[in-house]
Structure 1
Amino acid sequence: MFARPIPVRDTHLRHQRIALLLTLGLLLLCVLLLLLGVSVGSSGFESLINMQSDPQALQIVQQIRLPRTLGALLAGALLGLAGAVAQGLFRNPLADPYLLGSASGASLGVVCAMALFGVSPMANVWLARIGLTGAAFLGAIAAVLLTLLLAKGVQHTLRLLLAGVVVGVVLGAVTALILLLNPDLMQAMQSFMLGSTAFVGWSACAVMAALLALCLAATGLMSHVLDGLSLGEATAHSLGLRLPQMRFALVAVLALSTGTAVAQTGLIAFVGLAAPHLVRSIVKTTYGRLSLLSSLMGAALLTGADILARWLIAPQELPVGVLTAVLGGGYLLWLMHRQNNPRSSADNRSAA
């Protein structure tokens, strides 16, 4: 006897319910991680317990732990959103937020700012105004603009992808050359290259929150374009989508979200790549929901990794970027093994 086929409407409603439950679950997880992050630090839980009676403990919680944990949430959300946009824009599940050269541009901006510091009074005034965070953001945006210039716009996805790879390699080589000529900058660049949330303050949280809301709203308005691109460019054209303009807007969202996160926390690997994969492994949904869920998943991933980085060898800390690379790389290797395993593939087909 043959199994009765499940109606398409029932399948759609089931995915909607799963997406809603996943959204609520991730929101609850982010709240719990925020509370846990406020409790974890070099002084342990004592600062949280003595907040009412000890002004120093109150200052530690309010001015260090809380903005740092909230900053990890916001930076992870930006990277998760950027990863969903990148994978939808390039129709490639291996696309990550740094694909357009933003990471290399941010690194070059920071190392150039450090190298120029002390060269002349004008350079000092300029650096005092924008800071290393501003230099990283400007470097990331400049790298994306250079990628667009080499690709001659956003009309050809493959050309844009190749231009991003070329820009990333060239700018990375320039950064390495500057560090080779100025070895004293190596130690200062280490925290940026490995990623850290230790220097995130309330002003950085406000900037990231505002830009996250803007990028989420823009992605939600253009989610139908990503849904159309997932069916192929020919289908997207047949649906009447204005692809060149929409692609440019999506690249702007990708650059803005990635540049903001990198400027505040440095280079954090695998969060933007793994967050959409984790969401897709749980629920199949449209890009309107996928972008929000990927943002929440990225927030949970980075905050969890930051808490582990602070707790594993306390009172010392691990670089959070190293931890996310190990965890994210391990997850992707497990996912590849699972997909290549005939038994698991047969189980998935029988369950479907």
Structure 2
Amino acid sequence: MPRIIMGIESSCDETGVGLVRLHDDNTVELLADEVASSVDQHARFGGVVPEVASRAHLEAMVPTVERAFAKAGLKLSDVDAIAVTAGPGLAGALLVGVAAAKAYAAALDIPLYGVNHLAGHIAVDTLQHGPLPERCLALLVSGGHTQLLLVDDIASEITELGSTVDDAAGEAYDKVARVLGLPYPGGPPIDKAAKNGDGAAIAFPRGMTGPRDAKFDFSFSGLKTAVARWVEGAERRGEDIPVDDVAASFQEAVADVLTMKAIRAAKEHGVDTLVISGGVAANSRLSELAAERCAEAGITLRVPRPRLCTDNGAMIAALGAHVVAAGRPRASLDFSANPALPVQIVSI
């Protein structure tokens, strides 16, 4: 069975390369996690530009691989298998990672696994907290995805219970940050401003929480618009914008809905472990409120450290290790990246 697995991530604006060791008891040990981000190149546009991201991946791929192996003290010849993000993500960005993974796999004559980026965000938690329980619930919150997922087997069986019907939570953060004159990406600056604000200062709406709404779906477009309208109204009246209070009230609305629906899903499906993952999982108020509500409900909360929450190669290597341990079939060298790969397909 392969023991050293390299993971390559290039779904958006981070070039990630991770190296893990799969032990005999199927635990996974992180050996190296190197990331090259092109976020600064996108900041002036207020969002990711696909062509810019693809070119950045081309430039960063080999240097990032070299840094990962130097960090782990390994050589390419030590690798037993390669896992690469096959989707979802930006088409051009994915193709860079897939092409690199195919080249390395062919040159080394080792197995290649095309895996799901979203499942990787869940699998990365095992690098910090050990194996997942037989059944758990995952709240995936990032710039492009907000989903509630029932995980029966991280290597093969993930069921989507609900997702966002419009803006993802991270996308709403970016747009609200722009309204408040805060830098891109919006998550960290809003979180920082919110620490000095009052989350109850402004009663922003909680989307998709009515009695007729889908129980496990999310909507943040209306919240984003409500913040923009509130700010516009204050400006028309000639008032100073209380940025800290607006940020805190917006963040409270997001965290309230996310945690409320996650706890509801866990109770209804008889699950006693909740994993929160994705870039927004690093948000301090989300973690704090989730911890409070999980404690009240008797649910174990697992949140990876911030470095593991954002896109990285370690999460793809970790998922690859679980796929290998489960004996899942390898990918052929002619497989294609799928920008719309559903979370139910863990590996291809």
TM over 0.5: no
Kindly indicate whether structure 1 or structure 2 has the higher relative contact order, using CA contacts under 8 Å at least 6 residues apart: 1
- Tell me which structure has the larger Cα radius of gyration: 1
Instruction: Give the TM-score normalised by the residue count of structure 1.
Output: 0.27
Q: Which has the higher helix share?
A: 1
Instruction: Give the TM-score normalised by the residue count of structure 2.
Output: 0.28
